[in-house]
Chain A
Amino acid sequence: MFNFFLLILIYSGIYALMALGQNIITGYGGLLSLTQAGFFAIGSYATAILTTRFGWSFWATLPAALILSAFFGLLIGLPTLRLKGDYLAIATLGFGEIVRNVLNNWDSVTRGPMGIQRIPMPDLFGFTINPYKKYAFLVMVFIFVGIAYFIFQRLARSRMGRALSAVREDEIAAQSMGINITTYKVFAFILGASVAGLAGSLQAVFSLSVTPGTYTFMVSVMVLCMVVLGGMGNFKASILGAFIIQLISYFPQLTGLSSVIPPQFKQILFGLILVVMMIWRPQGLLGREETRYGKKVAKGHKGGAQ
């Protein structure tokens, strides 16, 4: 039971990484994208193929997975620049499905629906991070979540974060303020994609096997739910959202009611949560994070000419 709880925590961490990326794209950049499953898959398969076929160590595949998914982020970011809202969602959804179908059919590389098994466990200075013994793995995942959170949080408070907010609020005005909106939109995609790739890499060494069935459209929807539930434009909220959604999706198993509650239950519950949230708390549980300038930055600046 407790072991199962640890498993949920690990999955929460992996999904939290994706949610952080989704928050950069959707929460800050205002781009409704449904690609996270695709980047997740690319990261996973990069690690799976490089370790099993080329004998790379897990740590060497991490940057490879990151760069590869960032590259695909660039590829998807550029052509979809002109799309907004629903249209962007449809185009990016297509990308996720393309990735899954390629993985399913490119037998010579991905072994198709059979997937890739026997991915070696990660080693660190002679210590094997064994996913069956969960603790070490849990620590590793949350170190990555911590690093990603730190980098993103700082980014959001820099002028890059402000520029992204400007692009979200009003593209025309942002352009007229000297912000290159093309760069920043693509940048958001690249960042979001690279953490999702990282998450995929971790997923691969956690389950020690990858199959295309893991990376369905539902993954992207879940990640989007996490960001919306927690609150758009707030990284803490994305992590919180990841925990809550993961808890809910394992609720039947956790309470031992999995024989009574059908697996479709969680999809019903997601829908219900989103509807309820949109009615009572559209800004999410925590709401957008506001940067209060003046308290932290200014030292004795005399305000108030009035």
Chain B
Amino acid sequence: MILLETEALTRAYGGVVAVNKVDFVVESGLITGLIGPNGAGKTTLFNNMTGLDVPSSGKVFFNKKNITGLPAHTICRMGIARTFQNIRLFKELTVVENVMIGRHFKTGKSETKGRFFNAINSYVHMKQEEEQIYEKACDWLDFFGMASMKNELAKNLPYGRQRELEIARALATDPKLLFLDEPAAGMNPQETDHLMATIRKIRDLDITVVLIEHDMKLVMNICDTITVLNYGQKLAQGTPREIKHNPSVIEAYLGKEEE
């Protein structure tokens, strides 16, 4: 089943076309990789799908609903969460507070979860709600084995932990779809192995994962399907094996062999 789909998505900054008519498809339940050389438009594509940027043209469908141009917080509430290439934690807040913020719109009894007036209602019934939020946040910290650090300031965590905390925060929003923007950047091989196990665990929770990554070992190991971007255009799409042997992909990464 197709969970998310872009239709000829284009984002141009003046004359520079960062993403050019890309049809990107995410099948639910799979781990999808998005790779490409630097400047290929991977992060721009992410931003356009998560509402942080508005496409110049083209459409984005999530669960067959058109979500093109919706604000980021609305898209998040529909069930798409993300992390960032350059870690964007709430640095001066504690670890558990970071995750609790991920639960922001998840409380309240009425259907209009996260609505502002609901927040006022939650102000009246605060104690109860805070307990729920806190418990749930702790569960996610447990999932990452970080419960013992919950009262540390986020900025004081080691780098690998900060990346994990960002994932925990995204998961706290109970997403159906999780975008990871270079989750393994700056990690050593052991941390990367650990991350791979974590991503598999996340997939087993019925959360569809899309990741941008440069670490080919990680990508080839855990992705079920890979899309390759180059100069803003979709170059190829297929299983890791197909991608590995695709001549145009090899050319994009290594250049053309001189004859």
Q: Which residues of A contact B (CB under 8 A)?
A: 154-155, 157-160, 162-163, 165-166, 169-170, 172-181, 183, 187, 288, 290-294, 297-299, 301, 303-306
Contact = CB atoms under 8 A, between A and B. Distances in A.
The 6 closest A-B CB pairs, nearest first, are: A169-B90, A175-B72, A178-B76, A303-B147, A173-B88, A178-B105
Contact of B52 (A170, A172, A177, A298): A172
A297 B82 CA distance: 28
B60 interface: no
B169 A177 contact: yes
Given A298-B134, A306-B148, A180 B123 contact: no
Interface of B: 50-52, 71-73, 76-77, 81-82, 84, 88-94, 96-97, 100-105, 107, 114, 116, 119-120, 122-123, 126-127, 129-131, 133-135, 138, 141-142, 145-148, 150-151, 169-170, 173
A234 B110 CA distance: 32
Contact of B102 (A165, A169, A177, A293): A177
Contacts of B89: 169-170, 173
Given A175-B71, A177-B76, A169 B93 contact: yes
A304 B95 CA distance: 13
Contacts of A163: 101, 104, 119
A127 to B, nearest CB: 32
Contacts of B123: 154-155, 158, 160
A105 B169 CA distance: 53
B135 A298 contact: yes
Given A162-B101, A172-B52, A305-B145, A183 B90 contact: no
B147 A306 contact: yes
A304 B148 contact: yes
A165 B138 contact: no
A293 B73 contact: no
Nearest to B77: A178
Given A158-B126, A298-B131, A303-B150, A180 B73 contact: yes
A177 B94 contact: no
Q: Give the residue among B73, B77, B94, B105 with the most A Cβ atoms within 10 A.
A: B73
B145 A301 contact: no
A304 B151 CA distance: 12
Given A159-B129, A178-B104, A301-B134, 19 more contacts: A159-B100, A160-B120, A162-B97, A162-B104, A165-B93, A169-B90, A170-B88, A170-B90, A172-B84, A174-B90, A175-B51, A175-B76, A178-B77, A294-B96, A298-B131, A298-B138, A299-B131, A303-B148, A306-B146
Contacts of B52: 172, 175-176
B101 A166 contact: yes
Contacts of B122: 158-160
Nearest to B169: A177
A292 B114 CA distance: 24
A175 B73 contact: yes
Given A160-B119, A293-B151, A294-B151, A176 B91 contact: no
B172 to A, nearest CB: 8
A213 to B, nearest CB: 38
